[in-house]
Structure 1
Amino acid sequence: MLTYDVQIWGIRKRANRAAAYQLRWRVGPRPFSKSYKIKAQADGRRSELLSALRNREQFDEETGLPASEVQALKSPTWYAHTLAYTEMKWPGASAKHRAGIADALATVTPRLVKDGRGAPAPRVLRRALYSWAFRFVRDGEEAWQRRVDAQQPPDEIAAALDWISRKSVNISDLNTPSVVRSALDALALKLDGAPAADNTVNRKVPVFTNCLRYAVERELLPSLPLAKVDWASPETDDEIDFQFVPGPKLAKQLITAAGAQGVRGRHLMAFFGCLYYAANRPGEAASLRETDFTLPEEGWGEVLLSSSTPRVGSGWTDSGESYDSRGLKKRARKATRAVPIPPIQVRLIRDHIKEFGTAEDGRLFRAVQGGHLLSKEYGEIWKAARLAVLTETEAASPLADVPYSLRHAGVSLWLESGVSPAEVARRAGHSIAVLFRFYAKAIHRSQERSNRQIERALEAAEEED
């Protein structure tokens, strides 16, 4: 039971005792005492108790200790907490998010230690955390089990995990601003000590924050300690640099050039068309089936998006495949998104089906061996298409440097054509806020055109008067 009824007495010296200096205090009705060999030690401990009392901290009647010290004694280590956190998050997280959680925690956990004596090599410790402690596998009964518990790790991995379990700080130490700052600084660095990319830092910090929130939820921390530290994530300029986004003419040339790269190029030509003409994400386009399309003989068609299959790695997916089959990004699992497609894309899809057919499950695009399309495959075709179309200087620049540039180009084309931002956001699967953050310049140009149209209408009305 906690109480404010505390009395702390002076130091008493007892003759002929090895620990001659005795500190005495009372918590509620119970007296407590502790003896020290050196008077300075007794004075120091008395000052700690008085400081807790002045700070209006309650004391525990059972142990006689301030509440903060009782909490510290009961506190699990940071490493133990991360194990509980990853176990809680794993079942409901996407494969990509699972890998992201493991990545962030494997970055920050080695920094949150009492000391570095006997530490394993940094790369060994990171592998131990990322691939063994923070990763789960199915057991014989199809239940999730931490990999280190389900499989026998190499000796160096077992030793690294034993070291971190012994050296990890208590979770209560995260109440100390210097400890929190040390963790945040670790997230801003790569394994070799070089500064991490801004986007990498901004991806890892929310994982750390959420892990701390879970500590508050478990009542291991009284409140989120980040407010105690004057530290901010790096500013990033999310707005797309449109000088490197291909326009309609160049986008068509690149798609055509991709189709000229042999049989694989022809197979992927319609795939690249989906990225541009329907502004699909690569993972969305890779999972498209013939039944997802409405392909009229003439005019506009439509594609109905309902899933995405981003490549993550077999260690993070439920199925054990290297890709993760899930719903649309940041949408309910069963949500769909209908996107009109222009006649040129309708023809591309029709020609693709006529020449290549579909996989057994109806997928339009597949790997050479018939499995799910790999980013390495379409990346190589795209690289060849760029070299075929761009000048040497352009090819050395970020102009259309990755296939995802086609999606940026498609969204930009819609905005430049006067489609309302709300409709563009719907077709692209963005929120309005994200659209304005990434495509602010294109939206601004579209608004200027709209303003001129409104102004002409108003001038015409004045001339009629």
Structure 2
Amino acid sequence: MFEDVLYRLGYKLDGTPAAGDTYRRRRRALNTALEHAVVAGDLSGNPLQRARRKHVGSNDVVDRRVLVNALQARQLLAAVSYVGSWDRCRGRRLVAFYAVLYYAGLRPAEAVGLRRSDCHLPDTGWGTLTLRETRPVSGKQWTDSGERHDRRGLKAREAKSDRPVPIPPVLVTILRAHLDTFGMAKEGRVFGNERGGAVGSSTYWRVWEEAREYALPPERVDSPLAGRPYDLRHACITRWLNAGVPIAEVARRVVNSPEVIHRRYHGCIDGHEELANAKIERSLSQDGDD
């Protein structure tokens, strides 16, 4: 019976294999529950400690085909503004939302929870977003507040810790324009729906799907290119790596370990093969001189 539970940890509800990080997260959660049962006296021991760990391959490597270049990203952000009627501003409200994913590497749930007080937006130069919470969609029956969006700390961080992320002037300008046009949503959030509530995942998914049809040629609409809003974060991380930002600094900004960054994005970093070949060629030339 317990082996069946372990087996299911590695699969999604549709029967397809889950990502390696998903399996490991589920296993940690199960271990915590079992340890609590041992302390409470409901179990004599933790059966997970005796179970053989399943080998999980790295099937969560980022697919290069989803990555947009700078021109495609600008075209997609422009297309977002044309989604929905102009008076209801359905798309225009979300241009800056997608921009923080692309220029700052935020997760969608982090963007939903972003507050005006978290933003340092100077008149000129670089700004800073200091992230303090995420607002993932959990469903009303699963949250303490009865709201659809749960309140959580940052992923892989202590509950009260924050994460400062420097943002380039282009994003500072976009955010200032957004706040000047739409003001703050409820609870001081930067992004909100038409009623000031939290932006729902179904909303930013629908708008993104429509924007792709406006911005991309027909043959690209059916491709994996920027198929999900989350792919903008992947494009941001890849851009930083290709710009030469150290992996440790990229990991700090996006709250991943350097190992995870290297594993997921190693196939997306351009130019490293050429640099390695040049170093080898110089070494061979030096050997010949000797």
Q: TM-score, normalised by structure 2?
A: 0.82
In structure 2, relative to structure 1, the CA distance for the partners of 1:455 and 1:342 (3 Å cut) is farther
| 1:252 Cα deviation after fit | 1.6
Aligned counterpart for 2:82 among listed residues 236, 249, 260: 260
Quote the Cα distance in structure 2 between the aligned partners of 1:385 and 1:448. 35
Taking a change above 3 Å as real, the CA distance of residues 224 and 427 of structure 1, as seen in their structure-2 partners, is same
Give the corresponding residue for 2:236: 410
CA deviation profile, 1:114-150 (whole Å, cap 9, x unmatched): xxxxxxxxxxxxxxxxxxxxxxxxxxxxxxxxxxxxx
- Following TM superposition, by how much is the alpha carbon of 1:236 offset from its aligned partner in structure 2, in angstroms? 4.3
SS at match of 1:373: coil
Q: 1:334 to 1:215 in 2, by over 3 A?
A: closer
Q: Is the Cα–Cα contact under 8 Å of residues 101 and 232 in structure 2 kept in the other structure?
A: yes
User: Cα deviations across residues 238-278 of structure 1 (Å, max 9, x unaligned)?
Assistant: 21011221122211211111122241111110111001101
Question: How far, CA to CA, are the matches of 1:333 and 1:205 in structure 2?
Answer: 21
Equivalence map 1:192-231=2 (5 Å): 195-199=15-19, 204-218=26-40, 223-226=45-48
1:372 deviates by 0.9
Q: What TM-score do the two structures reach when normalised by structure 1?
A: 0.53
Larger radius of gyration: 1
Measure, in 2, the Cα distance between the counterparts of 1:211 and 1:324: 21
Q: Does 2:72 correspond to 1:250?
A: yes
- The Cα offsets for residues 404-435 of structure 1, whole Å up to 9 and x where unpaired, read as 11111111111111111111111112221221
User: In structure 1, how many angstroms separate the alpha carbons of the residues matched to 2:58 and 2:154?
Assistant: 25
Q: How does 1:64-463 map to 2 (within 5 A)?
A: 179-185=1-7, 187=9, 195-199=15-19, 204-218=26-40, 223-226=45-48, 232=54, 234-261=56-83, 262=86, 263-443=89-269, 445=270, 447-448=272-273
Q: Which runs of 5+ in 2 are unaligned?
A: 284-290
Distance 1:414 1:217, change over 3 A: same
How many percent of aligned residue pairs carry the same amino acid? Answer: 38
Structure 2 contact 186–192 (Cα < 8 Å) conserved: no
Shift of 1:347: 1.3
**Residues 367, 202 of structure 1: alpha-carbon distance in 2 compared, 3 angstrom cutoff:** same
Q: Distance in 2 between matches of 1:217 and 1:446?
A: 53
RMSD, aligned CA: 3.0
Contact 2:9 2:27 in 1 (8 A): yes
Q: 1:330 to 1:371 in 2, by over 3 A?
A: same
- Structure-1 residue corresponding to 2:286: none
Q: Spell out, residue by residue over 1:297-350, the C-alpha distance to the aligned partner (whole angstroms, 9 max, x if none).
A: 222222221121111111111211111122211112221211121121111111
Aligned residue type for 1:427: R
Task: Determine if contact 1:260/1:266 at 8 Å carries over to the other structure.
Answer: yes
1:396 to partner: Cα distance: 1.5
Aligned-partner Cα distance in 2 for 1:338–1:230: 39
Change (3 A) 1:212 1:379: same
Q: Is the 8 A contact 1:180 1:229 kept in 2?
A: no
Deviations 1:328-383 (A, max 9, x none): 11112221211121121111111111111112532121012211111111111101
> Which AA in structure 1 matches 2:136?
P
Cα distance in 2 between the residues matched to 1:327 and 1:180: 31
Q: After TM superposition, list the pairs within 5 Å mapping 1:20-99 onto structure 2.
A: none
Per-residue CA deviation, residues 15-70 of structure 1 (Å, 9 max, x unaligned), is xxxxxxxxxxxxxxxxxxxxxxxxxxxxxxxxxxxxxxxxxxxxxxxxxxxxxxxx
Q: Which has the higher strand share?
A: 1
SS at match of 2:209: helix
Partner of 1:409: helix, strand, or coil?
helix
SS in 2 for 1:303: strand
C-alpha deviation, 1:203, in angstroms: 5.2
In the TM superposition, residue 196 of structure 1 has moved relative to its aligned partner by: 4.1
Residue identity matched to 1:249 = L
Residue 285 to residue 195, structure 1, CA distance change in 2 (3 Å): closer
The secondary structure found in structure 1 opposite 2:227 is coil
Alpha-carbon distance change, 225 to 354 in structure 1, aligned in 2, over 3 angstroms: closer
CA distance, structure 1, for counterparts of residue 267 and residue 226 of structure 2: 18
Q: Distance in 2 between matches of 1:327 and 1:186?
A: 27
